């Protein structure tokens, strides 16, 4: 499954009540954010990997269009990725460093999947 675009009105259903995945990785981003644009293709690729089928959903949240969600989750810098399990934030990654590789992101995601 590729990423899903989440809105303020779909957030409850797509992220908090998500039953189709063990973990929802909510990617808070903005179109003007260079690091956000750099990490987006990696997240898209990871979200389509067979090993994450049924275990991970990448939910994209544009903070410019949905400032209420950015405020609710105290987003102070982007990209900001929050891992949700059973409707609760269980981990957070802030920022993106060009040296970070796909393998590092995969390892981070795997660390937050239930055993």
The set of catalytic residues is: 33, 36
**Lookup: tokens for 51:** 């090993």
CA distance 107 to 52: 12
Distance CA 27, CA 94 (A): 10
Angstrom distance (rounded) from CA 62 to CA 70:
9
**Both structure tokens of 104:** 């590092």
Task: Quote the CA–CA distance of 92 and 112 in Å, as a whole number.
Answer: 10
């Amino acid at each position: 499954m590729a990423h899903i675009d989440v809105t303020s009105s779909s957030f409850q259903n797509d992220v908090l009540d998500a039953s189709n995945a063990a973990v929802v990785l909510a990617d808070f981003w903005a179109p003007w954010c260079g690091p956000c644009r750099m990490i987006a293709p990696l997240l898209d690729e990871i979200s389509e990997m067979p090993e994450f089928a049924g275990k991970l959903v990448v939910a994209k949240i544009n903070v410019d269009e949905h400032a209420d969600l950015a405020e609710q989750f105290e987003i102070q810098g982007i990209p900001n990725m929050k891992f949700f399990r059973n409707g609760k934030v269980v981990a957070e990654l802030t920022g993106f460093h060009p040296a970070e590789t796909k393998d590092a992101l995969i390892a981070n995601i795997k660390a937050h999947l239930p055993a």
